[in-house]
Amino acid sequence: MNRKLIFMDVDGTFTVPGGHIPPESAVKAVQKARENGHKVFLCSGRNYNMLEPLHKYGFDGGIASCGGYVYAGDDVLYDCPLTEEQQDKLITLLSDEGVFLSIEGKDAAYSDERAKEYLKQGDSRNEYLLRMIEAVWIGLGPKPLHEYDGCPLYKVVFTCSDVEQIAPAKEALGDELQFIVHDFSEPGCYFGEIINRKFNKGSAVCLTADALGFDIADTIGFGDSRIDIEMIEAVGTSVCMGDGSDFLKERSDMVCPATNEDGIEWAFKKLGLI
């Protein structure tokens, strides 16, 4: 059996959306796969600090900040924060338009808690977004935005009522940064991420495979949302969660049951990893 290099998105894949504790079946599947000689990496939009609580489950390394920071054990494979000019311009242009921001460095994140209050004023369409926002505030412990200390940033997350609010920043920085509006956004309530065009989950997968000596054909990627598309397109075998984005399902080699339906274990068995 060829050794495989497996990449695992977190929110909505290894854990349920807005959750922090993975199903026991997923944990056991990862551990058993590693016992069988495979390597398993986290591959997430979360920063390194937000991935640390998951290291206890025995991952071999991770792709953090959508590819901006990549590590294997204690070795750093890639490190590419925004420039000071990019982050200053981005924060200013978005703040001037009234966009609620969450900004992420390597070891800390800073969030505008007004976003949570804004979502609570909406109707039931905001429930998913509110769970995600509360997961960030309550479970992952970011600091208030006003405490931002100027550390290098890898990603900016935004919440706004109108996509036109991000237009000035996109016009000024769109050639350098990717502005992603998530599928679960709806009119009047938009949620998305801004990432450097120098990297993505797909480029990080290729970099990791090369560093560890794996053929890209022997890589497997698990995801659930549009933000995972570059990873899904880069890996040798792609898997989308059953409750994931239709956009991603259409482009994946396999669709497995949802996370809370033991989907990770099901797929690992189907792929012969355990």
What pLDDT score does 125 carry?
A: 52
What pLDDT score does 140 carry?
A: 64
What pLDDT score does 6 carry?
A: 98
The closest alpha carbon to 186, from 162, 157, 156, belongs to 162
* Residue 116 predicted with pLDDT over 60: yes
What's the rounded Cα separation, in Å, for the pair 136 and 130?
10
Confidence category of residue 129, pLDDT binned at 50, 70, 90: low
> pLDDT by residue (tens digit) across 135-172?
655 556 678 888 999 999 999 989 888 999 999 999 99
What's the rounded Cα separation, in Å, for the pair 120 and 61?
36
> pLDDT by residue (tens digit) across 48-95?
998 999 999 999 999 999 999 999 999 999 999 999 999 999 999 999
Pair 192, 181: CB distance under 8 Å: yes
What one-character-per-residue DSSP string does 154-223 give? Answer: SEEEEEES-GGGGHHHHHHHTTTEEEEE-TT-BTTBEEEEEEETT--HHHHHHHHHHHHT--GGGEEEEE
The per-residue pLDDT of the chain, averaged, comes to 91
The closest alpha carbon to 166, from 186, 181, 153, belongs to 181
Interacting residues of 142 by C-beta distance below 8 A, sequence separation 6+: 102, 108, 109, 110, 111, 136
Least confident of 125-129, 147-151, 186-190: 125-129
Least confident of 24-28, 66-70, 224-228: 224-228
What pLDDT score does 66 carry?
A: 94
What pLDDT score does 229 carry?
A: 95
What pLDDT score does 122 carry?
A: 60
The closest alpha carbon to 214, from 198, 232, 233, 237, belongs to 237
Confidence category of residue 209, pLDDT binned at 50, 70, 90: very high
What amino acid occupies position 205? V
Global pTM value? 0.89
What's the rounded Cα separation, in Å, for the pair 223 and 31?
19
What pLDDT score does 59 carry?
A: 98
What pLDDT score does 1 carry?
A: 65
